[in-house]
């Protein structure tokens, strides 16, 4: 019995700090922790790439909601975007715009007397800065009936925005996703 105690005692002694066995065990624990952290970071990166995008606001077209230089993140995906939703758009030529959806497929858009009308009703827009005027050089004739998969988007800063008044309705395929927040 006493010999068994001594064997246990010697085993405990061999795990003292500074002992080779203790250092190897600590190193293994550190490697497992670092490996687990690396796997989690890789998984997080994959999730972000697949489901979340990041965009930079360039210019004052979304002021006061967003300022030039703000970084926004958006949820990727082709969902039905409701009126009032702020979205990230891919435009021809590779430009990215941040705009607000003001009309959805099937809606009729009109702009008159400095106001936006959707389906014959004036739209209350507490987020809008300035009056809404048609772009005389734009490609839109009013009233504008939106076809399937087409959205009408405007910048909140109406005097400083290039939007659907200029380039027309955007296809759902151009919408990268809904803005979730900003940094």
Residues serving a catalytic function are 61, 99
Q: Cβ-count burial of 163 within 10 angstroms (0-12 exposed, 13-18 middle, 19+ buried)?
A: buried
Would you call 64 helix, strand, or coil by DSSP? coil
Q: Report the C-alpha gap between 119 and 107 in whole angstroms.
A: 6
Q: Report the C-alpha gap between 181 and 66 in whole angstroms.
A: 10
* Other Cβ atoms closer than 10 A to 158: 20
């Amino acid at each position: 019995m006493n010999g068994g105690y001594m064997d246990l005692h010697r085993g405990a002694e061999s795990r003292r700090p500074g002992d080779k066995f203790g250092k190897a065990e600590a190193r293994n624990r550190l490697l497992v922790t670092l490996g687990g952290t690396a796997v989690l970071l890789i998984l997080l990166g994959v999730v972000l790439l697949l489901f979340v995008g990041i965009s930079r606001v360039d210019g004052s077209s979304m002021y006061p909601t967003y300022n030039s230089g703000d970084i926004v993140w958006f949820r990727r995906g082709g969902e039905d975007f409701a009126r009032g939703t702020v979205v990230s758009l891919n435009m021809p030529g590779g430009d990215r715009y941040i705009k607000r959806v003001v009309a959805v497929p099937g809606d009729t858009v009109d702009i008159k007397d400095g106001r936006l009308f959707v389906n014959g009703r004036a739209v209350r827009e507490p987020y809008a800065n300035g009056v809404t005027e048609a772009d005389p050089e734009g490609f839109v004739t009013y009233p504008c009936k939106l076809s399937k998969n087409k959205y009408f988007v405007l910048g909140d800063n109406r005097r400083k925005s290039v939007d659907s008044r200029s380039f027309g309705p955007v296809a759902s395929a151009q919408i990268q996703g809904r803005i979730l927040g900003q940094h």
